Amino acid sequence: MLPANSNLIYQLMIPSIVLFFLVWSFVGVGVGLGLIVSPTKMLYLFGSANRYVSTRHGLKPLSEMHDVEPQARKNRRWIGTFFILGAAYSIFGLVIWYDNGPIVSALNLDLPRPYLAVIVDSVRWVLVACSVFAFVIGTLLCFYPNVVYRLEQHTDHWYSMRKVFLGVDTLHLGLDRWVAAFPRAAGLIIVIAALVAVANSAVLWQQLP
């Protein structure tokens, strides 16, 4: 099954990538010729098409802090019970019902079965450990909530997406200013680079099965 899927991905993805580069290479040739023949009109077109989109405005809801602590404390017994029941069911299934044979067969990977069995068993014990941890947290929420609240004071941290992506949406107009100052030279460079891309893409397209 895996080789057939790989062949299908190759037949769909590789031609699409080559066609993408071929089409946009022709677009690059047109843009370059436009800068050479009529730089004023092309620069006007660039100016009307360019838009500044700020990621800070788009990511603002993701970077705002939403405190769910009051609701969690109000419904701690329901949440704790859900954790306990879900973790108990998970542990029971992973320990009693577990059989790596069907899982290894279902994976159908081109790897030795003992190696796959070790990987599957490792994942199983990781899930068991996570389930035990969830069971402990659920028990603490139901019967010892203050312990959980003290742990949260040391583990809870707020990370701002705005700080992580600070500077990503900063405008860098050096290349734009250079093209505006030397449009014909920029157009010639674009035409040459685009023609090389067209030639390479055409050769690859001809070699596709």
> What pLDDT, on the 0 to 100 scale, is given for residue 1?
42
Two tokens at 181? 């100052």
- What is the CA 98 to chain-centroid distance, rounded? 32
> What pLDDT, on the 0 to 100 scale, is given for residue 71?
77
Q: Using CA atoms, how far apart are residues 204 and 201, in angstroms rounded to an integer?
A: 5
Residue whose structure tokens are 């028990």: 139
Mean pLDDT of the chain: 83
Q: Using CA atoms, how far apart are residues 65 and 59, in angstroms rounded to an integer?
A: 12
- What is the CA 66 to chain-centroid distance, rounded? 23
Confidence of residue 192 (pLDDT cuts 50, 70, 90): very high
pTM (2 decimals)? 0.48
Quick check: 60 pLDDT over 90? no
Q: Please list, in sequence order, all residues whose beta carbon lies within 8 angstroms of the beta carbon of residue 180, skipping any fewer than 6 positions away.
A: 43
* CB-CB contact of 131 with 94 (8 Å): yes
> What pLDDT, on the 0 to 100 scale, is given for residue 6?
53
Two tokens at 131? 């389930």
> What pLDDT, on the 0 to 100 scale, is given for residue 144?
87
Quick check: 197 pLDDT over 90? yes
Burial of 87 (0-12, 13-18, 19+ CB in 10 A): buried
% pLDDT > 70, the chain: 79
> What pLDDT, on the 0 to 100 scale, is given for residue 199?
93
Q: Please list, in sequence order, all residues whose beta carbon lies within 8 angstroms of the beta carbon of residue 91, skipping any fewer than 6 positions away.
A: 128, 131, 132, 135
Is pLDDT larger for residue 5 or for residue 155? 155
> What pLDDT, on the 0 to 100 scale, is given for residue 101?
81
Of 65-69, 90-94, 187-191, which gets the smallest average pLDDT? 65-69
% pLDDT > 90, the chain: 34
Quick check: 54 pLDDT over 70? no
> What pLDDT, on the 0 to 100 scale, is given for residue 100?
81
> What pLDDT, on the 0 to 100 scale, is given for residue 4?
46
> What pLDDT, on the 0 to 100 scale, is given for residue 55?
66
Confidence of residue 7 (pLDDT cuts 50, 70, 90): low
Confidence of residue 72 (pLDDT cuts 50, 70, 90): confident
> What pLDDT, on the 0 to 100 scale, is given for residue 163?
65
